[in-house]
Amino acid sequence: MTQVFVVNSGSSSIKYQLIDSRTENVLLSGIIDRIGEPGHAADHDDAMRIVLAALGDTREITVVGHRVVHGGSRFTRATVVTPEVEKVIDRLSALAPLHNPANLAGIRAASAAFPGVPQVAVFDTAFHQTLSAEAYTYAIEADVAKAHGIRRYGFHGTSHKFVSDRTAAQLSRPLSDLKLVIFHLGNGASVCAVDGGRSVEISMGLTPLEGLVMGTRSGDIDPAVLFHLARVAGMDSAALDDLLNRRSGLLGMTGTGDMRDARTAAAAGDEAARAGLNVYVHRLRHYLGAYLAHLGGAHAIVFTAGVGENSPETREETIRGFEWLGIEIDRARNEAPERGVRVISTDASSVTVLVVPTNEELEIARQSLACV
């Protein structure tokens, strides 16, 4: 038996899974959180020692796979970590100050905890390195863009890749023949257009702030809002960052960043909740139209992650109004309390609409194994 150990190291937590590489079963999973708080793990090394104790016998672990958020333009695929790779991930912290340092701390702690076991970095951005220049370029002065790496990178790539493969399997067609629009709707949310297995559009940009309305992030906004607030409200870059990343989105509009709570409030007559949900769905429909245009039509529209997998209302509201293109949700299928991969469109629908549960840990495990 061989095993893959998957690590998702954040600034204050380490989530982990031990996966049997042959059966792909999860043998053990857990989370060490509140790292750095009194009475908890002091730092990532300390947290990894606790994980190691929980694991017991680690002799079967052949590779450790790490989620790394930003791979810049440098990483187009999962990569075995070397000192040079560590340096690049560290340098890319400028583009992902909340994520890359924490991911790197996890890599360093695991390297010390599993001496001699290869560590693989699996990047959220890698899947989107297939974007064309017209899709990834922001229309700003070219020298400034070049000097600072300003372009669209895209995120959630591990999930979009996993869901692409799973969708092709479900449709019994090669991925190379398929055009897909995939909505990853969790606390963070993004939509991806996939053509023949290649990401051709992604709603997230330089950072995971652009695009859809999210739990606490604004998504798309006129950039002039920032200079305006700097002038009229005296907000500095830290305050603006906090506003758009942590106090906006569903939370900012409705008072809760959690889709379940927002839906419950709206159903009970809370007008701010209803209005906020309408903005959320309006943006989803905006991107669906745009991505169908970019792809020149699609074979499937796919919903995944917490909201996508569990909120039939959100799915129905997104697709409603696309009947003129022949796209139709089947109400009973959409509302059935199932959990697995499922088709929710009618048999007559011109585009198959599916729910496909994502599994980023399994995708990280697969890519890490394939790397070594």
Least distance (Å) between residue 18 CB and ligand AMP: 21
Sites of contact with ligand AMP (CB under 6 A): 186-187, 215, 258-260, 263, 305-307, 310-311
- 140 phi/psi in degrees, rounded to 5: -120, 170
Q: Looking at beta carbons only, is 67 or 151 nearer to ligand AMP?
A: 67
Q: Looking at beta carbons only, is 187 or 350 nearer to ligand AMP?
A: 187
Q: Looking at beta carbons only, is 15 or 44 nearer to ligand AMP?
A: 15
Least distance (Å) between residue 251 CB and ligand AMP: 10
> CB-based contacts of 322: which residues, under 8 Å, 6+ apart?
285, 288
Strands (E), the chain: 3-9, 14-20, 26-32, 61-68, 79-80, 119-123, 179-185, 189-195, 198-202, 300-304, 342-343, 352-355
The Cβ-side half-sphere exposure at 174, using a 13 Å CA radius, reads: 3
Closest CA to 71 of 190, 155, 5, 195: 155
Least distance (Å) between residue 280 CB and ligand AMP: 10
Q: Looking at beta carbons only, is 44 or 217 nearer to ligand AMP?
A: 217
Which of 124, 177, 236, 242 is flagged as catalytic? 124
Q: Which two tokens stand for residue 37?
A: 């708080």
The alpha carbon of residue 329 and the mean position of all alpha carbons in its chain are separated, in whole angstroms, by: 25
Q: Looking at beta carbons only, is 81 or 185 nearer to ligand AMP?
A: 185
Q: Please indicate whether residue 222 is annotated as part of the active site.
A: no
Least distance (Å) between residue 75 CB and ligand AMP: 24
Give the residue carrying structure tokens 């495990």.
365
Contact call for residues 29 and 20 (beta carbons, < 8 A): no
Torsion of CA 312, 315, 318, 324, to 10 degrees: -100
> CB-based contacts of 53: which residues, under 8 Å, 6+ apart?
none
Contact call for residues 113 and 59 (beta carbons, < 8 A): no
Q: Looking at beta carbons only, is 175 or 266 nearer to ligand AMP?
A: 266
Contact call for residues 68 and 89 (beta carbons, < 8 A): yes
- Distinct helix (H) and strand (E) counts, the chain: 15, 12
Least distance (Å) between residue 43 CB and ligand AMP: 26
Least distance (Å) between residue 15 CB and ligand AMP: 12
**Annotated catalytic sites, by residue?**
124
